[in-house]
Structure 1
């Protein structure tokens, strides 16, 4: 027992350590799964950004080409314009010099004219002042034209520098475009990231399942340890309580071999098959007797004087003679069965059951005749055949198909057979009055149908209504 307990303890310790290691593995797997999921989440944005960068680089290179072409064209146009401005400034300087000379001449002429008229002298002075201002402005324009020409040269140098920088940008963009990953590589990177995230999730799930199984193993190891300890205790107790020697039993070996005798008690004992079939054939005989009255008495024929009577009186008139006959046949059947040696556990109940069954059967058959006419007696014979199979009198109804099992619970012959089995053999203890009550319900329903069926009566002249024996309309 002790090695088993020690082994179970070691197994539990190992299971605990395995559970701790698996917990750490699960934590690492979850961390890897989280990182892979973040990578899978950011990869689409990275792929999209790289695609945008590649597209922007292409557009920037195209723009640089256009800018270089425009700068070249603009520089040439600007150089031409600067040359034209310089030429114009030179012409303006020459014109200013000519104007200055002319102004000097005008001053001389004005001095000569000053002697002739004061007004001309005043205008000449104004003209002289304007000429001097014109000369000064002309000199300033010449200086500005020279400054503009120098700025045009500086601008041309800046344009050349810009063109060189544009060439360097174009070359750098070409290198960037070459080093960017291809679109298929980006797609592969995106697909690999998704696969990595999915595998990380599966790894985390597997680690969780493994941890759960380890906990189960740990718990089972504890149970195993407890069981091993109990087994050890039980073996020790068994070892302590088993006697060293066993005393031999005394007595007769035959008596010991047959120390118990089986005693069988039969409930509702039936001596033979004849007695067992008696309730079944009694019920069928009562039904046949009630059916035969429809072939003897005209159930539907009444004299003309019967038109003035109530329906209840007509029904009572048709029931009187057949009722006496079926009650008489019930007594005869009971006496005949008893004379044949069939036992009666409760003779009074046997008589009551046969009388009640005869009345119930007669009311059912009368209701059929008053409801559907002469075809009612044919339907009564059909019901006899159906009840042979559905009543459960010859073999258990559970062996029949579901159709007969359903009919078994509603046909009146079933209740008569069960009530007779109780009265004759004591079967169905405590259910006798249940069977009798159900027969009473069937009898009451049949009587109600008979009282409500008025259209099947056939009336004949009172003088022709003599014999109660059946006629053509019976």
Structure 2
């Protein structure tokens, strides 16, 4: 075991002597050590944080939405959506008014995708009749950049979710706004109910007072009726006594006595005349008060009709009393005439004095007693007070009725005419928006999507492997003195034949083994052929400039081009350095030409990209022809660079 390790260390020391014998080997080894780390650094930096740079990806917004009206409010979801997307700056959105121009920009690679909001977007989305009724269009090109189209598809899903959330927020805003209005109306309704309650209390109190007044009116009316009856009987007896006195006139011999009696009769007649006048005035007031009470009580709910009818009867009775009082007045007038006749017929006074005395006595006894007359007066006063109390109760009743009416009006005004419901279906409201995705230059599979990047990588790898087999700076000494162009073309002859064979095999593998659908077969074939020849020229130029170290530079250039060409992810997702160098690298144009010819991307403009590739080939040819010196060797040293 020790012997084996010792021999191994001896061999290692022998290998280390190479660094002393060949000093340039040290630089080569240093490059070999650094290049893998540099390789990893270049690539990782290019894909370090693409998510933070999506705002650099240009996308178009075409808002054709006309808007709609929802619950009395004007809504334009398209404008709201465009404004929201530009504020978020997820992508570099640019507004456009022409949908076809936006599609054209996508096809030409100027925009990653276009968001086209149709004219009926708001109307269909707000209605929510069917799921996904609102259909904004996402127009993208898979052929331009397969990964970029994937961004567009993911954006479409997120867009649907975002717009549905925005719609739900707007719907809830409208609902909450109506709820706030309902709360205000509920407050008004509550105030109306309180007023209604207060009015009902006032009405109840007024009705109570009206009932009390009505009872007092009934009692007063009974007392008045009783006294009026007694007065009527007394008047009748008075009339009977007066007729008896008229029939029994006194003789002349009793004149003096008659004169004395006439004086007493005149005094009594005067007192009666005054009493009848007062009674007649009271009857007038009674009639007027009864009529007024009848008119005032007609409008009283529940008891008004009965009270009014009683008041009407009272008025009729008072009218009859008034008529009786007139009759009494007429009788009193006749009594006055009789007294005059009595004064003139003094001769007859003596014969009828006894009858006269009896008639007067009977007349005096027929008049009502004083307490009954007082009761009549008290009844009239009570009737007047009750009438006033009833009037006050009716006023309160009217006030309560007004409050009750106002409360009911407020209650009616506060109640909504109807409740507006949400239109649409449950699923339609939950998922109102579903973006439609339109794809230009479609790519059938994920592998085909990465082909525009890996086909050029394979061609570059083939050219690099060819450079490792042949000495790119050596020519046989017999060619010394040939023109530079002849030397370069001669050197490229075998190399290009190998490269073309590599390109043909890769083309057949892509088209027939992987069966990638190719839109322009001839364009793809020409692109691959031009690409591999250009790559070989570039590697040869680097070797002519830097010697064999040019092969290491070619490896670094490969990873730089892979990071800057946008073959896998859009170049806009890298940093500024890669975006700036991208147009000056052949890989960028090879990838573009492959996409245009394979998928019909960029409007199938593969010829212009191919022209750029050939421009790089021409520059590399001039550099390879003019730079460096050829190393002419004898035939025995003109051999492959690898030991085979």
Sort the TM-score into its range (normalised by shorter chain): 0.3 to 0.5
Give the TM-score taking structure 2 as reference length. 0.32
Q: TM-score, normalised by structure 1?
A: 0.43
Could you say which structure has the higher helix fraction? 1
Structure ranking higher in strand proportion: 2
